[in-house]
Amino acid sequence: MRVLALLVILLFGAGLFFLLAYLLRKRFPKATLGLWITGLVVSLFLLALWLIEMSGGQRNALYRQVQYGLSDTTLQQFLYQQEDFKEQGLLLASLASSGLRQMATIEPDDKALINQQVAWMAAYVADEEQFPAWNLRSDWEQQAFFLSHAAIVLANYQALTLDEQYGDHLTRICRFLAAGITRSRYKHLASRPGDSALRPQDNAAALYALYLYDQYYAEELSQAASEDWMHYIEKELRYEDTKLPCAGFTATNRCRLSSVGGSLAILATYSTAAELPIAKDFWREFRYYYKETFINVLANIQNVMNDAPIPEFCEDSVVPLDACDGYQHVFAQYAAANRQDWITYYQLNNSFLIDDLLNPPNEVWSMAPQHQIMGLIKLSARLCASTKHR
């Protein structure tokens, strides 16, 4: 399928030049030569981009950048000391541990180093001083974001190391999430205390955490919660003429937070990773309304569909990300890898590689710590995508 994706991209990227050269070969012989040369150059360029990814060169470069960032003690201290940056640190640990877990199967010689990195992230999310929510069980129905991503980190650590020192933490979280989603009237848990809306994308992450738990313990804890969640979305939350839910809803407003590219990319990522049947609908609709291509060679993800105006306070739809725009591309590529939609994957990847040439990823390390963390979130999401299904 990866070769087929390359052929499709070559057909649209260079095939047009070859077709014009063939049609104009008698009337404009000089122009025809230029078209043949242009088509050949474009073909070689696109082939080079494909080979950079297929050879593992890009994946290894992303891996080195993620390892560099996670090894930086200054960034680790920043995460431990900044009270208002806990959710970003949690999301980083969730994505980075997922990417590193997949990387360990590709580079088994690095498993000891990977285990070490994931171990400090597991210790970080399990630290009750860093995350007082561990001791506030009465608030857990309003802690879907924390519980989901903490469980993902601990599940990745446990699967990598076979060390069950956090097994009780993981079991407590997952049994609560499964029961909480099922017994909830709206089949969703609130993401955080004081949040005005229930967020499908964060609850999809919860179902992915349950999926990881079931994989390790050979249980079916996720089954009832997943079915209830999907049924509620299909029955109550589809917005307008799409099969997509909004970024957040309340008891009286099923679109309290408007959907944006980032919120839907995250929803597609985790619902697909959890192997939920509804993810097929999400991905098909998301591509149709939000994916934008340039002659089917490059792709990006629009923030809104049909050139609609950007929603006011759209950052609220992608909390805890620091911007409404900019993250949808990396999560969309992760979702494409999960779906094995290699055409979309390589179209997005071509855009990333060209951007990397103009803006090298290592430039992020010269920025302030908070920007380094957000840059590391993007790099970790890209690592997750590049290590999937290898």
Percent of the chain with pLDDT over 90: 81
The mean pLDDT value of the chain amounts to 94
> What are the pLDDT digits (tens) for 118-127?
999 999 999 9
> Is residue 187 within 8 Å of residue 231, measured between CB atoms?
yes
Element (H, E) at 249: none
E strands present in the chain: 291-294, 298-301
How large is the average pLDDT for residues 150-174? 97
β-sheet bridge partners, residue 299:
293
> What are the pLDDT digits (tens) for 264-317?
999 999 999 999 999 999 999 999 999 999 888 999 999 998 777 888 888 999
β-sheet bridge partners, residue 291:
301
> Is residue 333 within 8 Å of residue 40, measured between CB atoms?
no
CA distances from 265 to 66, 200, 201, 284, 318 (A): 21, 12, 9, 12, 10
Element (H, E) at 254: none
The pairs formed by 325-329 with CB atoms below 8 angstroms and a separation of 24 or more are 325/261, 325/262, 326/262, 326/378, 327/262, 327/265, 327/377, 327/378, 327/381, 328/260, 328/261, 328/262, 328/264, 328/265, 328/290, 328/301, 328/303, 329/265, 329/300, 329/301
> Is residue 373 within 8 Å of residue 85, measured between CB atoms?
yes
For 131: left if phi > 0, alpha if psi spans -120 to 50, otherwise beta; the answer is beta
Q: Does residue 95 register a pLDDT over 70?
A: yes
**Residue 112, exposed/middle/buried by CB under 10 A (0-12, 13-18, 19+)?**
exposed
Percent of the chain with pLDDT over 70: 100
Q: Does residue 390 register a pLDDT over 70?
A: no
Residue 23 has what pLDDT? 81
pTM across the whole model: 0.95
> Is residue 387 within 8 Å of residue 59, measured between CB atoms?
yes
CA atoms within 13 A on the CB side of 129: 5
How large is the average pLDDT for residues 14-37? 81
